[in-house]
């Protein structure tokens, strides 16, 4: 391994994560002031472009470091980076070609979520591929997946803006955000929470990496050679309390938003859920400080997902505050609906090829094309949801608002397929959690 190129690749990718963060805040401040003329919007747009350049440089440098036979999308760290890169390309199209500034406010938190997780990953060394990944199909299967997922994310972001522009009930949007926030909290609790009713975090051990450096990584082992990776966990004392309280508050807020009688209480309950979610995060940070076996580096999903949910929930209240200004800055509802549809139309063949190449790869790696492994199943569910969207759009002529809601649901399914399966389920794709 060339240490110089490794340092460059990690540096480019880490810098891009923080440039995305700066772009997110600039765009957010800009649309609060004046989405059309604010200098913050101008700065945010070009920061997003600079982040994409740094991001691309990091990917290409890592590819050069590993050689042409080892593309930079073969483990969880690299797939996070590559997923974010596809979303970043679409972000820059939205900002510079489609002229949808608010799409940047919605997309940059997702990209920072992915890149933030990658920054917190302790082991970024380019390591030899495990046997299951030493396949020609690896080079194309993951590409189709990341392109599909990036386009789904972009489609959902534009669909959300379409609902705002098309005068969809702002309270129902709050209800959907409440449900999405609840889903993230419950997903981040992990499978051990559902088995025992207690909150556990992955234990951390100090390990010498292949390049000779030391890092705190997940405490993982194999019970036998070639067996699945097992992670040791440590209980967070009374950590189940904030999980349950936060989830219940978001659920009750969603019920209130969708209720005709109690919808006015929705804002207060939603705000209480946000405060409880922050308390949950503080509780986890406290647990990592008092327990030497726990660090946030070994649990990056939880930290970044809760911070991203917090930003989106904050954005919702900003929309309530500056709703008229936001609406004036958006293109027409028809234009937003068209862009959301075109992004999903691009994602559909990519998802199709993801399933086909995955089946071929599985046949050569595991001796069967399809085995209803959790990752396979949820990728297929994502595909079916996209198929329903396209049938509703092209054949059944569903209303635009219904399609936009479905596009957001598809993104929620995709998030579970990409991250939730790793956290809550297990299977032959468990190497993705390493």
Judge whether 38 lies within some domain. no
What's the whole-number mean pLDDT along residues 58-66?
A: 92
Judge whether 9 lies within some domain. no
Judge whether 340 lies within some domain. yes
Judge whether 222 lies within some domain. yes
Domain limits at 149? 129-433
The number of distinct structural domains making up the chain is: 1
21 closest CA partner among 111, 93, 144, 154: 111
Using DSSP, state whether 135 is helix, strand or coil.
Answer: coil
pLDDT in tens, 269-315: 999 999 999 999 999 999 988 988 888 877 888 888 888 889 889 88
With beta carbons less than 8 A apart as the criterion, state whether 410 and 382 touch.
yes
First to last CA, the chain: 20
Judge whether 93 lies within some domain. no
pLDDT in tens, 134-158: 677 777 888 898 899 999 999 999 9
With beta carbons less than 8 A apart as the criterion, state whether 31 and 101 touch.
yes
pLDDT in tens, 22-37: 999 999 898 888 877 7
What's the whole-number mean pLDDT along residues 62-78?
A: 84
Judge whether 21 lies within some domain. no
Calpha distance 153→344 (Å, rounded): 9
% of the chain residues with pLDDT over 70: 94
Judge whether 20 lies within some domain. no
Write down the pLDDT at residue 432. 47
Give the pTM. 0.88
413 closest CA partner among 389, 366, 378: 378
431 closest CA partner among 216, 131, 202: 131
Calpha distance 285→57 (Å, rounded): 33
Write down the pLDDT at residue 11. 94
pLDDT in tens, 406-419: 999 999 999 999 88
Q: How does 204-235 read in b/e, with b if 16+ C-beta sit within 10 Å?
A: beeeeeeeeeebbbbbbeeeeeeeeeebebbb
């Amino acid at each position: 391994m060339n240490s110089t190129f490794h340092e460059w690749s990690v540096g480019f990718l880490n810098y891009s994560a923080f440039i995305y963060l700066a772009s997110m805040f600039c765009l957010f401040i800009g649309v609060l002031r004046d989405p059309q003329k604010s200098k913050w919007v101008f700065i945010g747009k070009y920061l997003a472009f600079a982040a994409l350049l740094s991001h691309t440089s990091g990917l290409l440098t890592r590819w050069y470091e590993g050689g042409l036979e080892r593309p930079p999308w073969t483990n969880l760290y690299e797939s996070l980076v590559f997923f974010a890169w596809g979303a970043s390309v679409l972000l820059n199209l939205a900002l510079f070609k489609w002229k949808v500034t608010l799409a940047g406010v919605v997309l940059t938190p997702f990209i920072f979520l992915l890149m933030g997780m990658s920054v917190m990953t302790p082991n970024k060394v380019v390591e030899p591929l495990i046997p299951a990944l030493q396949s020609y199909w690896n080079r194309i299967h993951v590409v189709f997946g990341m392109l599909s997922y990036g386009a789904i994310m972009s489609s959902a972001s534009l669909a959300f803006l379409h609902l705002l522009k098309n005068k969809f009930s702002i309270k129902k949007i709050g209800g959907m955000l409440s449900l999405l926030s609840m889903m993230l909290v419950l997903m981040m609790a992990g499978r051990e929470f559902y088995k025992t009713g207690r909150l556990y975090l992955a234990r951390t051990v100090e390990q010498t990496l292949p390049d000779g450096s030391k890092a705190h990584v997940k405490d993982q082992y194999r019970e036998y050679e070639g067996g699945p990776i097992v992670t040791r966990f440590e209980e967070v004392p009374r950590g189940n309390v904030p999980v349950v309280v936060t989830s219940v508050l978001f659920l009750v807020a969603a019920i209130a938003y969708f209720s005709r009688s109690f919808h006015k209480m929705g804002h207060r309950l939603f705000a209480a859920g946000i405060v409880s979610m922050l308390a949950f995060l503080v509780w986890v940070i406290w647990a990592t400080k008092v327990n030497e076996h726990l660090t946030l580096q070994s649990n990056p999903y939880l930290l970044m997902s809760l911070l991203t949910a917090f930003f989106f929930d904050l954005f919702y209240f900003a929309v309530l505050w500056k709703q008229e200004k936001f609406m004036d800055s958006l293109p027409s509802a028809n234009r937003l609906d068209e862009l959301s549809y075109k992004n999903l139309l691009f994602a559909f063949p990519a998802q199709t090829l993801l399933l086909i190449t995955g089946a071929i790869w599985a046949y050569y790696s595991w001796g069967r094309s399809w085995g209803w492994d959790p990752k396979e199943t949820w990728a297929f569910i994502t595909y079916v949801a996209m198929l329903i969207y396209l049938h509703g759009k092209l054949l059944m002529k569903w209303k635009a608002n219904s399609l936009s809601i479905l596009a957001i649901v598809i993104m929620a399914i995709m998030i579970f397929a990409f991250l939730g399966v790793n956290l809550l389920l297990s299977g032959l794709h468990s190497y993705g959690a390493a």
